[in-house]
Amino acid sequence: MLYMVHMQVNIPATLPRSEADRLKAEEKAYAQKLQQDGTWRHLWRIAGQYANYSVFDVAGNDALHEVLSSLPLYPYMAISVTPLAQHPSAIAAN
C-alpha cells in the first residue's frame, strides 16, 4: 500500500546540540536505508520548513506505523498520513 506522509520536525531548543546532531545523522542513515529497500519511495523537502512530504510503500497501516515510529526524530515530529490509490487516468502503474 502507498501512503503520503507529511512530517513536520520540531526539535526543542533545549535539546543539546550534540544530541540533535546525533539524531539527525541516525535519521539520515535510516531514511537512506529505507529508500534503498524501496520502502521510502519518495522524499521531498518543503521549501523554507523543516518538513517533508514522503511516499511510503508498505504492507499496511501497522507496517507504516512501525516504520514511522522507528525514525530517530519521531518523538519530535508532527505526522499526518494519507492513504493513496492508483488513479484510473495515471499512465504509470504503482
Q: Would you kindly state where each structural domain of the chain is located, as residue ranges? A: 2-84
- Domain with residues 2-84, CATH architecture: 2-Layer Sandwich (3.30)
Q: Which segments within 1-94 are labelled E, that is strand?
A: 2-9, 40-45, 51-57, 77-84
Each residue of 1-17: b (16+ CB within 10 Å) or e? Answer: ebbebebebebeeeeee
Longest dimension (CA), the chain: 49
52-91 tens-digit pLDDT: 999 999 999 999 999 999 999 999 999 999 999 999 999 9
How far apart are alpha carbons 80 and 8 in whole angstroms? Answer: 9
At residue 93 the predicted structure's pLDDT band, cuts being 50, 70 and 90, is confident
Provide the whole-model pTM: 0.93
Place of cell 521510502: 40
Of the CA atoms within 13 Å of residue 1, those in its CB half-sphere come to 14
17-52 tens-digit pLDDT: 999 999 999 999 999 999 999 999 999 999 999 999
